[in-house]
Homo-oligomer: A and B are copies of this chain.
Amino acid sequence: MLKVKFIPQNKEIEVSEGESLLEVARKAEVFIDAPCNGNGTCGKCKVKVVKGKVDTQKSRHLKDEEWNEGYILACCSKVKEDVVIEVPSNAGSAMHGMKIEALSGEREERIFERAKKQILDNGMEFKTYIKKDYIELDLPTLDDNISDFERIKRHLRNNLGYNQVFCRLPMLRKMPPILREKDFKVTITHIPRGQGKTTIVNMESGDTTDRLYGIALDIGTTSVAACLVDLQGGKLIAKASSGNAQIKYGADVINRIMYSTKKDGLKVLNDAIIKETINPLLRKMYEDSGIDKDEIVSFIAAGNTTMSHLFLGVYPDYLRMEPYIPAFVKPPFIKASELGLEVNQETFIYLVPSVASYVGGDITAGVLSSGIWSSDENILFIDLGTNGEIVFGNKEFLMTCACSAGPAFEGGEISCGMRAANGAIEKVKINKDTYEPEISFIGNDKPLGVCGSGIIDLICELMFSGITDRRGKLIKNLNTSRVRFDENGIGEYIIVFKEEYELEKDITITEVDIDNFIRAKAAIYSGLTTLLTGLGMDCTMIDKIYIAGGIGNSLDIKNSIKIGMLPDVDESKISYVGNSSLMGCYLILMSEDGRHKLEELSNHMTYVELSADPGYMDEFISASFLPHTDIEKFPTVKQLLEK
């Protein structure tokens, strides 16, 4: 056995010769960002060999200087003797994102109020289907010695009109002692199912009818967000979000799926989302609110199709391979105990149905909360999270497609990228004369990277200030120290010099990053135009555009048009609607009618497979330019460029 020691974590682990250094780090619970999951393509798993040697080779992601200093890519290195490995502090940048943050309460409340309006304006009831009832049972005697459960059933039949009462074994097990805590005075939580049927899911001694709580959860590939909601009224009690701990096994869904095919891979990914991501978020909210996990009796979750599979521990590999078949789109009945979620174990977990392999429940939920389904106007809904999904339609029809945009909008596969969390540069301006940037970042500490909205600003400003051309290539010989080129001729723009904030290294955006992002934005633009063209329509027929997803609150709509990500329509038509998936989950949590509407929507959305459209590839290539090879499609941008 060989010894591998990681510093500064100071973790040592014994391994066999030939093991991958990235896998060894995972075993040792030393987190090294590896969005491409060990393909050697992203270059993020850079670490330094301090002592000993590893079996490795130089990568295009390593500069000569770095290579000479002992830097290697962990994913491309195998252990061959005892080594000491130094993990740079930025190598775990995905883990920065794992920090749990409370959502900004007021903003969310406002958004939720707007979503609630969708329900009320359409004549639907804003009321949860779960009930609490305080009951005082007759005390048992020798003459009235029916069983505990029969006693409850008799009471519910005689007093509340339920003639068929069910419960499951764990509830039965809790029953005898709880009944006797306060002389057979208890509060039951139950789910009426019509026709006099109901199922008891919780029992508490005494009167606790004022406490009834649920969870809404959005499971993003990059970020996970949750709300704890008072089911009686719909008030937000607590909110929290963090990165998805699966990130260390791959930044996008394809890499996650590939990881799931490894030995125990599916379990590792399932644990990462349930135990390492969701449960900590739940605990944080319980701590903030003083609510006990047993009080959570309703749970709505949404995620893309891959996230849905991994959340349930269902093997997703057939999603990846033609003909791209999911195991399910509508999940079965699931109890919290089956998933190990830290809520009341009897709670029914409602996972929002997907539409297709690459249009998941997050989109179904987003469509519900956005209200497209009740609109007379033509609405274009774009979810800019990892990948990017598009829905177009109105109250008559809904078309949807998925774009292979990758994780760039959430900072994935961008060397300086990070999700919209503390330390993320979310806005950038560049002085046209000095080429100096003006940044604003989330939090008060220091900038750590750039999130999606910041990258859009950057790319837009770089082009409009003449630092890059319309292909995104940096112009040489500009009078600024902000632009530099490495020995291979690849340029980068320095957003933050390390000295400015005492960082370990500069925050830069490279031509490779710009190229990655241009491909991501091109995927969105070509996706939406292909969808519209298929309907015999064009961008002029769009009445409104809703942008949702993890790209960040600070998304600059103008800049998004200027780089050709969004079509050149009047800016007033476009709005950022935030985490519409989480909003949709909230609506389902609070409205049984909303859930029925959602299920109807998931059945009636028409999925368009872009890769099957012969025009899509051409559209994509034309869009891989700033803003587009056909500048006539962006008349206002053309004007600006001509100024």
> A residues engaging B (CB < 8 A)?
140-142, 144-150, 166-173, 175-177, 180, 312-315, 317-318, 322-334, 338, 356-357, 609, 612
Contacts and interface: CB of A to CB of B under 8 A. Distances in A.
Contacts of A170: 338
21 contacts: A142-B609, A146-B329, A147-B328, A147-B329, A148-B326, A148-B328, A149-B330, A150-B328, A166-B332, A166-B333, A168-B332, A168-B333, A168-B334, A169-B314, A169-B332, A172-B312, A172-B327, A173-B312, A176-B315, A176-B317, A176-B327
Contacts of A325: 140, 145-148
B140 A177 contact: no
Top 8 A-B pairs ranked by shortest CB distance? Answer: A149-B328, A147-B326, A142-B323, A176-B327, A147-B329, A148-B327, A140-B325, A145-B323
B356 A313 contact: no
Contacts of A145: 323-325, 356-357, 609
A327 B150 CA distance: 8
Given A324-B145, A357-B145, A609-B142, A314 B172 contact: yes
Given A166-B333, A328-B150, A140 B323 contact: yes
A338 B169 CA distance: 8
B148 A332 contact: no
Given A176-B315, A176-B318, A609-B142, A169 B334 contact: yes
A315 B142 contact: no
Contacts of A140: 323, 325
A144 B168 CA distance: 38
A330 B167 CA distance: 11
A147 B323 contact: no
A174 to B, nearest CB: 9
Contacts of A171: 332
Given A169-B332, A176-B327, 13 more contacts: A141-B323, A142-B324, A145-B357, A145-B609, A146-B329, A147-B326, A147-B327, A150-B330, A166-B332, A168-B338, A169-B314, A173-B314, A180-B318
A350 to B, nearest CB: 13
B612 A329 contact: no
Contacts of A312: 169, 172-173
> By CB atoms of chain B within 10 A, which of A168, A172, A177, A313 has the most?
A172
A314 B176 contact: yes
Nearest to A151: B325
Contacts of A314: 169, 172-173, 176
A144 B356 CA distance: 11
A605 B326 CA distance: 52
Contacts of A357: 145
A339 to B, nearest CB: 8
A486 B147 CA distance: 48
A323 B139 CA distance: 10
A334 B171 CA distance: 12
Contacts of A146: 325, 329
A173 B332 contact: no
A158 B41 CA distance: 47
A180 B333 CA distance: 24
Contacts of A326: 147-148
Nearest to A607: B145
A505 to B, nearest CB: 44
Given A315-B177, A609-B142, A172 B323 contact: no
A463 to B, nearest CB: 38
Contacts of A144: 323
Nearest to A175: B327
Nearest to A313: B173
Nearest to A325: B140
A141 B321 CA distance: 11
A148 B357 CA distance: 11
> By CB atoms of chain B within 10 A, which of A142, A146, A169 has the most?
A169
A312 B148 CA distance: 15
A323 B314 CA distance: 49
A338 B313 CA distance: 18
Contacts of A330: 149-150
A356 B146 CA distance: 7
Nearest to A328: B149
A299 to B, nearest CB: 14
> By CB atoms of chain B within 10 A, which of A180, A325, A338 has the most?
A325
Nearest to A180: B318
A166 B330 CA distance: 11
Contacts of A612: 142
A328 B315 CA distance: 39
A323 B143 CA distance: 8
Nearest to A266: B173
